[in-house]
Amino acid sequence: MINIEIDSIIDDISPHNYIDCDIDTIDFCDINYNGFVENFMLKNLPCVVKNISLEWECASKWIEGNKINYDYLQNTYGDLEAPVADCNNIDFNAHCKSNMKVGEYMDYLKNDKKDGTLYLKDWHLRRIRPSDQFYNVPFIFGSDWLNEYATDHQEDDFMFVYIGPSKSWTPFHADVYSSYSWSVNIFGRKKWILLPPKEEEKLKDTLGNLPLLFNPEQSQNVKYFEILQEKGDAIFVPSGWHHQVTNLLDTVSINHNFINAFNIEFVWSSLQTNLLSVEKEIEEFKHTPEFQEQCQLILKSVFGMNFVDFLHFISHIAQKRLNQMNSENYVGFNNFTLGIKHIMFDLNILLKIINSVQNHPLFSNKYIAPNEIDTIMNIKNSILLKVK
């Protein structure tokens, strides 16, 4: 187990001015957890981390010399199915997807005369093969409420394998729930383009739609960063940073989305913004009995979670942190142990979020069940006893 802890100094960090920001490159060997929190997570700034996968099993077994070890992947995972996106087939601003046997995909990938551009992505291999420890979650990403919640509830996780040929790509987007993400190249090279929050507003058309791909040559006065990600590099993508990715070579990567105390306020704010947009979109039905229910259904469709989902999420993490303090069992996600200051910080931030949720109009109307309100208020009172 690896312990992750923070210093009290992190409360003094102020939001960063994205206009003056740059993207740092650091070496994994030189990183400490608190420094990463202060310099990147709290400031919501991206970075490149070198040499992060040197000791990962997949870095040796999945790669043979200067190419992907197709035979190993076929023999080990060939009978499994994985989602595959067709980069040449677009429907509603997204790639069309289908499932394919991994063995069949490897046959496609090693063929020099490929038919089309197929990209194996969003593959939940870690969930399918939990005993197969083909990589280690870097300790700097160890505070991960999203995958902690998914693991505790045996739901779909946010841990993915991507394998794609040269010229495969991911469209311009921001990550689900406005979460953080990290992506580690096991092999190959990617080109990333990232835009700081709000810069994407300059790209919207008259209907408010974003482009499938951002073209810098066609977009004036838009601040963006271009990064080449090499083998062994990790990219940390903060909340609200729109990005697109192109594989310049055949590439294999491990990718996680995650939420924690350092970006949960961003997630909550984004959920509220999306809800307001949904309410405005169907405001002609505002006085119908089904209005709020329909708004929540649409919100879940466009944002990934609705108001009640968010309540369940923060309630679970808060109750778990309270239990950890009471039992002195500080294990969080992936067997990382949390220092007491970290747990207290989590609880203080959760208390702040709960107070904000409590002030939201939806909390006091009939949409929220009384038992849900009782649960969150009991948790709030328990936190107050711990942090006062």
Give the pLDDT of the chain (388 residues) as one tens digit per residue: 889 999 875 655 555 678 788 999 999 999 999 999 999 999 999 999 999 998 999 999 999 988 999 999 999 999 999 999 999 999 887 899 999 999 999 999 999 888 899 999 999 999 999 889 999 999 999 999 999 999 999 999 999 999 999 999 999 999 999 999 999 999 999 999 999 999 999 999 988 899 999 999 888 899 999 999 999 999 999 999 999 999 999 999 999 999 999 999 999 999 999 999 999 999 999 999 899 999 999 999 999 999 999 999 999 999 999 999 888 777 888 889 999 999 999 999 999 999 999 999 998 767 788 888 999 999 999 999 988 6
The answer to whether the Cα torsion of 158, 164, 166, 168 is positive or negative is negative
Residue 190 to residues 6, 26, 89, 162, 164, Cα–Cα distance (Å) = 32, 18, 21, 12, 10
The total of other beta-carbon atoms located within 10 Å of residue 377's CB is: 13
How far apart are alpha carbons 150 and 84 in whole angstroms? 23
- Structure pTM? 0.95
Backbone angles phi, psi at 253, to 5 degrees: -145, 155
AA identity, residue 240: G
How far apart are alpha carbons 226 and 325 in whole angstroms? 43
Buried b (16+ CB within 10 A) or exposed e, 66-96: eebbbebbbebbbeeebebbbbeeeeeeebe
CATH architecture of 3-258: Sandwich (2.60)
Instruction: Kindly state the DSSP code that residue 235 receives in the 8-state scheme.
Output: E
- Pull the structure tokens for residue 266: 């961003």
Q: Could you tell me where in the chain the CATH 2.60.120.650 domains are found?
A: 3-258
**In 259-364, beta strands by DSSP E:** 337-338
The predicted structure's pLDDT at residue 15: 59
- Pull the structure tokens for residue 84: 């595959």
